[in-house]
Structures are given as structure tokens and as C-alpha cells.
A and B are shown apart, each in its own frame.
Chain A
Amino acid sequence: MLEPGLDTFPKLALRNAQRIPRNVAIREKDLGIWQAYTWAQYVEQARLIALGLAALGLARGDKTAVVGDNRPELYWAMLATQALGGIPVPLYQDSIEKEMQYIVGHAEARFAVVEDQEQVDKLLHVREQCPMLEWIVYADPRGLRHYRERGLLGLDELQERGRKFAIDNPGHFDREVAKGAADDLAIILYTSGTTGQPKGAMLSHRNLMVTARNAIAHEGLTSSEEVLAYLPMAWAGDHMFSFAQSLVAGFTTNCPESAATVLHDLREIGPTYFFAPPRIWENILTSVMIRIDDASWVKRRMVHFFLDVARRVEERRLGRRAAAFGDRLLYALGRVLVYGPLRDNLGMRRIRIAYTAGEAIGPELLGFYRSLGVNVKQVYGMTESSALVSIQKDGDVKLDTVGTPLPEIEVRIAASGEVMYRGPGVFLGYHKNPEATAETLEGGWVHSGDAGVFDRDGHLKIIDRAKDLGRLADGTMFPPKYIENKLKFSPYVREAVCVGGERPFVGALINIDPGSVGNWAERRGIAYTSYTDLAQKPEVYELIRQEVARVNRSLLDEGPLAGAQIRRFLLLHKELDPDDQEITRTRKVRRGFIGQKYAGLIDALYSGGDHVKVEAQVTYEDGRTGTVRAEVRIHDAEAFAPGIVR
């Protein structure tokens, strides 16, 4: 339960200003220097903004749109709005005008606090369609000196009005803060749905506070953490880490100078608590590898040698086995020579806890950071759960799960395979959208839209979007994308398409990776002429058969998925190609199209024969089309019976 006097974020901020007034609450790099604001200053700034908004007539229940990069002023504006009983609505700063217009109109925002001219220009346009929007307040006056639009105001001017308002209305701020209650609406976060209009998830102070508090206890966070606020303010994760948890725990939020300087600022700050989606982890790794490849021969050899040691040690560690004695010694040496300096260079030396979430992260990518000693863990959550559902515990990390549910959160897998959860962080519903709310919220349980399973150790595994989940003829759960991703983790598999919906078992159409398989073949003296030829070599089949067996073994560990092992597979005689419309330009498999085009091959998987003759139309680079003829062999895969210990 929440303490009665501390049940809203403004009340928490006042507590911080009283208990730890001199601790740094937020920092921003401005004019090349990190400018720090203490909790006392944080509250004072927010108070003046609140009083200014009160002077403009903000009433309880009014919405304030907040748009811009992560800036202290914008965090203050959110707190200020909450202090008056208003509701902040952060928007994605790079969203197009039409999207902004929808959200501002749908939320019926009367006020907007924005970063700079770019956002002012957008909102002035938006206002033509949304007359509800009365005031636009900007933090950075650059380029706006000559604007004469009505209802446009600089933040300094707003705070000045706040000062005057305070003289005429003493005690107003404290009175309004005291009126707030735990179950008041704290924020509306619009989720950018892949289909249809964005939906505004409503979260109460209680939702966010209890979630923040439980995660802080679970992870052992303290008031001395440093976090980098660089992901969009409209995203539930940033709101949780940079606002809710920062206020609850009293730790410091750091705003980078600009989007382009994030990696540099990361080094300067050296956060102790850090979040990044897989894409950013990957970018950082790539930039490191490029620099290592540029280094002198000796250094390069040394780095690669010790990275290999780290990988071996980490593999053992994840399997809860002690590493070989020699490796342990080498790891200690590597810490001095490579891992430490590398972490320092990345700005990750002080990281105690780092998260990745949002999409599947490749095990080798996660393994790389963990082997360096960066404690990266997977989390699972969404806006509707106040950002967090489950987190991997320290010392209980697996490369392919999202950990165990946080305290007070229950997770179950519906009969359909969908992950459902309930707990104190579950949102109040979608703003002005009871239909969508009814679809998602069912007796306190949230339909996550994700399909998942629990493994033997109670770790949750997200395997697919629930709507993509298939069923075999006997009703066994069949997540095609999940199995395909497992196949693709092999360096020898470039693409894979799994079939099995309404079929007796799972079959796989596999594209070998011509580079790595070609290399492998050359090293073994296997001669080949073309991709088609290479793909039909018996040795290559054997190679891939082992990869399929690896995938099957791992499925065995995953409860209901043990029945979704691959029974038969074939190697495609041509590469899947966007020019042939088999995959999209972003390399997403076009399942329906492949189902039609390769119907013959798929039928052959299930007919029991061991080969099939094919002809395929291919489009050459110059636009001409031709035909590839081949005989494709079909192989049985090694499948494993559940319950048998290897």
C-alpha cells in the first residue's frame, strides 16, 4: 500500500525536496556543460510552472500535451500539471502533424508545453484543427522572437506569471497538491498501434508508483543511481525509469545534449542504471567492432583472444557451471587488459543494471555484453502494465527468456497461448475508447497480445504475437516465427520458413547462408558451382540437420512447444529474394505468398517422399526472368521425445 501522504508524484517530489534537497534530481548538458538541478530546484521549477499554468486557467482534469526531446523543463511540466490535478500527455516528438493532431484532439488538450520552434510550428498547425488547444508554451525561445500568434508563451514568461499568481493566491500550489489522490489519473500514454489510430492508455499514480516501488525493491535500486533519459518521453519505459522511479527512489536523471550526442554523453555520465532496445545494443557493438578492426594487429589479436575467453566463461556461468581453471585465470587477466577498458570506453563501467526489451535480442549480442561484465537483463512489459511485467533476477539470467514476474504481478498463459497478467500496475483503460478497453481488459486481466510459455524454471518466454500463433492438426501450439528465429541464430541459416498450421507436424523450408556455408564447404574441400548446387550437397544437408536437431532439443525444454519440433525439412534451391516478393525489403518473410509459390514443396514435406523436382521463376538483377530447375531432397529431422533426459 502507499503511504497516505505520499500517494501522488507531486507529493513524492515535495518529500524529496525536503529529505534530500541537495541531491541532484536531474541534469542536462547545455552549452557543453552538465547543468545540475537539485530536488529543491526541481520542485521550485515545477512549482512556478504549475502556478503559471494555474494563472492561465488550468483546472483539475485538464490535459497538457508535452512534446520534445528529454528536457528537464518537460519533466517539470509533467509534474506541474499533475500538481494541479491535470493530466500530462507526452507525445512522440518526431510524430507527423496528422498524428499529433489526432492525439491532441482526442485527448482534448488545452495546454501544450513543447521544446522549441519545430514543435511550436507543428502545434500551431494542429491548433487550426483542434480549437481546444489554447496555450502553447515553449522552453527554447530560439527563432520564436518574432512570432505573434495568440496563446503562445515562453516558459520564462509562464514562470513569471506564476510568481505573480502566487502573490495573489498564497498557498495555492500546496492546496492543489494536497487534493491529489492515489487513484487519480496520472498520465495518458498513447501507444502507436501498428494498425488503426493510437490508443491512450490511462495510468493512475497508484499504477505507476507501486510498479516503480516494486521494481526498485526487486532490483535493489538506490537514490544514488544515474540514469540516461534519451528514449522518447511518450514511451512508457522512459516515463517509468526517468520520472516514476526517479521520483520514488530519488535518483538522478540525465538528459543528453542532443540526439546525436547520446553515445558520447553516455560515456561522460557513466550511468549505473541503463535501458536500451536491442537496436542500440547492436549499434554500440558494431561501432566497437569497427574500431577494434582498425586497431593494430597485436591489439586486435589480444581483444579477440580475450573476448573468446569471456564468451566461454559466460557460457559456463549461464549454465551455472564453474569455468575451467585456466579460463578463470585468463578472465581475470582479461578484465585488466580488455574488458575493463572496453566497458569504460563504452560508458558502461558503472552499470549495475541494464535492460533490453521491446523485441527479441540475439543471444550472442546479449552474451557479448554479459561476458564483458555488463549486467544486461531482459525485461518484459508494455504501456498497459505501467511498463513492467517481468524482469530477470540478478544471477538468474537466461539468454532467451524475459525473466520472472515482478512482485504482486500474476502472469498466466491463456488456453490460446496468449500471455495474460494482472497486478497493481494494470492500466485504468483506454481514454475515450471503451470498446478497445473491453477487448484488452477482462476481469482485471490484460490480454497482452503476445504468445508465451513458461519454461521449467518459471521464466516467461515470449514466442510470438498471439495472432501469428498457429496450431498443428492435433491442437499443439505452433509459433512459426519463434522457431524460425531459433533456426536463424545458426550462422549457416539465412532464412527459414516453418509450416505446420492444421498439419500433422512442423516442417521447415530453409535457406542456407551462402557465405558461411560456402566458407565451411571450402574448408572441407567440397566443390560446388552455384547456390543451388551447394544447397543440395549431402554434407550441407548433414550440417543443417545438426542445426535442426539443436533447435529441436531446445524446444524440448519449453513445455508445450516440445510438440512443435521440426520433423522434416528441406533446403530451398534458391534464395528467398525481395525481387521475387518472397520476403519484404526489411527481410520479413511473406508467409502467404511463399505458401502459394512453394505449395508443391510444402505438400512434398507431408507426402513422405524423399525428393521432389522443382522449377522456379527467378528475377535477375537486370529484370529478366528465368527458370531454375532442381531436385530438392527432403530429409527427416532428428526429433526428441519429451521427458527423456539427455
Chain B
Amino acid sequence: MTPAPPPALLEVAGVSVRFGAVQALDRVSLSVRRGEVIAIIGPNGAGKTTLLNVISGFYHPSEGHIRFEGRDRTRLAPYDVAALGIARTFQNVALFKGMSVLDNIMTGRLLKMKGSFLLDALYWGPAKAQELEHRAFVERIIDFLEIQAIRKTPAGRLPYGLQKRVELARALAAEPTLLLLDEPMAGMNVEEKEDMCRFILDVNREFGTTIALIEHDMSVVMDISDHVAALDYGRKIADGTPDEVRTDQAVIDAYLGVSHV
């Protein structure tokens, strides 16, 4: 038998979300362990993004509870959730298109900045020291994600794959404990996907960041995740190691459609 699991970082217990007549999530329970990469899979409309939105505070569940680091966090606003150490990226890239890559990533540091309007405006004393410190941190992320060459480029001018990487950089700038990635590899070519996989794994290993991601490419899911949960019509239909989930009959029926084996 496997040893007793370490305490969960995030506990989703019996969460339901309803939009009018649509039951987007139906009593979903999920436990995310500290330090793991968990993939959430499922066909279109299964409720994956809704689940992420519930975790990050965009939606509030009609029933059920969310516990983060052992404390109940069911009804927090998104900025409070972010302050707790949960950062995310979006399915459709949500960057400030007119701002440089550097400035976009700096916005990820906002929660860490303690400012006084006057000092900031004068760029003097503690304000300057603080700015330098944050800039140094952001530069480490730029180096880590190998985007030095586009530091000063307006985000809107970048190709899609790079925009995704910048979004990841901004999320990392918040030094999250839990990183939520909504389809980080959607719309990428093979090479971009490989790069992104490597970055996700490196983030997980170098910073110890726990990562929950939604992904459609099954080979990617099998390669990088320690733990897979499958949703269908708002219900969780499987939960386990990649191998267990891949061979789960309910998953094959609901999601993969036809077995290729």
C-alpha cells in the first residue's frame, strides 16, 4: 500500500455550482496535495473552468466547502484568494496588450507591494528600494522562462505562444503556493507545447509550486501530471494516477470516446 498521503493543500468538498437551470458542478470533491501537479480533464462543458473559477474565487459555490491550507476559504473575493497565494492564468490570454512584457509581469507583484501614494509618485526612499527589489524578482522570472528578448515588447504584439508564457510569468510573479493554469497549451504547436511542459515541470521542481492545470492533450497530461481528476457533466468520474485514470472505463466512455488500445 502507499504511505499515508501528506495533508492536502487544497480541499474541495462537495462543491456545487448552478447557473440557472445548468448544473455546472455537482457535488465535486477534490483534494490537491502540496507539491503535486494535478491535471483536470474532461470533455467540453464538463465544468473544468468552473471548478478553477470556484477555487480562485470568481464564483462562489451554492453548496460545499473549499479549504486552503487547512482553513475554510469558501467565500472569498478573487483578490483575497490571490493574497492567500493562489495565482492563475486564463484560457483566453488576459494580458494588458499595450503594456510591455516587463510591466505586465510587474503587475503580478502588485499584491506584494506596500505603497504610499506620495512616496511612489516621488520615486524616493523606500518606494525606490521596493521597486528595485520587485524588478529584481521579476528579472529572475524572465530569466527562468527565457523571455529576455521580449522584455520591452508590448504584449499585444507577441505571438500567442509567447503571450501564454508571459501570462505564466505574471502568475509566477505573485510567488503563488498554488498555481492554476487554464489550458496552458491550447493553440500551441508541438515545439511550444514541449517548451511549456518543461517550464511547468521546472516551476514545480525549482519553486515547489503546486500546480493544477486543465489540459486537453492527453499525452501532455500523462507526461507531466502526478495526479489526474476527470469531470463529466459537472460530476467527478475518476480521480487517481495518470495510469489509473487512463484505463478507467468511465473516462474512456465519457471523454476519450473510443478506446484506441
A residues with a Cβ closer than 8 A to B are 29-33, 142-143, 145-146, 257-258, 260-261, 264
Given contacts A260-B148, A261-B148, contact A31 B143 (CB under 8 A): yes
B142 touches A32 (CB 8 A): yes
CA distance A195 to B142 in the complex (A): 41
Known: A29-B148, A142-B206, A143-B205. 5 other contacts (CB 8 A): A31-B142, A32-B135, A32-B151, A143-B206, A257-B149
Q: List which B72-104 residues lie within 8 A (CB) of chain A.
A: none
Asked if B120 is at the interface (CB within 8 A of a chain A CB), the reply is no
B139 cross-chain contacts in A, Cβ below 8 A? 31-33
A31 touches B144 (CB 8 A): no
Which secondary structure dominates where chain A touches chain B?
loop
A31 touches B136 (CB 8 A): yes
B140 cross-chain contacts in A, Cβ below 8 A? 31
Q: For residue A262, which residue of chain B has the nearest CB?
A: B149
A145 touches B151 (CB 8 A): no
A258 touches B206 (CB 8 A): no
A32 touches B148 (CB 8 A): yes
A142 cross-chain contacts in B, Cβ below 8 A? 144, 202, 206
A-B contact pairs, 9 of them (CB 8 A): A29-B148, A31-B140, A33-B139, A142-B144, A143-B206, A257-B148, A258-B148, A261-B149, A264-B149
Q: For residue A140, which residue of chain B has the nearest CB?
A: B143
Asked if B217 is at the interface (CB within 8 A of a chain A CB), the reply is no
CA distance A145 to B203 in the complex (A): 12
CA distance A29 to B143 in the complex (A): 11
Asked if B194 is at the interface (CB within 8 A of a chain A CB), the reply is no
B167 to chain A, nearest CB (A): 19
B29 to chain A, nearest CB (A): 32
CA distance A206 to B151 in the complex (A): 44
B135 cross-chain contacts in A, Cβ below 8 A? 32
CA distance A143 to B143 in the complex (A): 13
**The 9 A-B residue pairs with the shortest CB-CB distance in the complex, in nearest-first order:** A260-B149, A31-B139, A32-B139, A261-B149, A257-B148, A258-B148, A261-B148, A143-B202, A31-B143
B142 cross-chain contacts in A, Cβ below 8 A? 31-32
A258 cross-chain contacts in B, Cβ below 8 A? 146, 148-149
A257 cross-chain contacts in B, Cβ below 8 A? 148-149
CA distance A145 to B206 in the complex (A): 8
Contact with A along B202-213 (1 / 0, CB 8 A): 100110000000
B135 to chain A, nearest CB (A): 8
Q: List which B189-210 residues lie within 8 A (CB) of chain A.
A: 202, 205-206
Q: For residue B102, which residue of chain A has the nearest CB?
A: A32
Q: List which B1-55 residues lie within 8 A (CB) of chain A.
A: none
Q: For residue B201, which residue of chain A has the nearest CB?
A: A143
Q: For residue A259, which residue of chain B has the nearest CB?
A: B149
B35 to chain A, nearest CB (A): 13
A638 to chain B, nearest CB (A): 52
A145 cross-chain contacts in B, Cβ below 8 A? 205-206
Contact with A along B138-160 (1 / 0, CB 8 A): 01101110101101000000000
CA distance A258 to B144 in the complex (A): 12
Q: List which B124-141 residues lie within 8 A (CB) of chain A.
A: 135-136, 139-140
Q: For residue A33, which residue of chain B has the nearest CB?
A: B139
CA distance A264 to B206 in the complex (A): 29
CA distance A61 to B52 in the complex (A): 60
CA distance A146 to B208 in the complex (A): 12
CA distance A142 to B202 in the complex (A): 8
A428 to chain B, nearest CB (A): 40
A264 cross-chain contacts in B, Cβ below 8 A? 149
CA distance A33 to B151 in the complex (A): 12
CA distance A260 to B149 in the complex (A): 6
Q: For residue A141, which residue of chain B has the nearest CB?
A: B206
B146 cross-chain contacts in A, Cβ below 8 A? 258
Given contacts A142-B202, A143-B202, A145-B205, contact A30 B149 (CB under 8 A): no
Q: For residue B143, which residue of chain A has the nearest CB?
A: A31
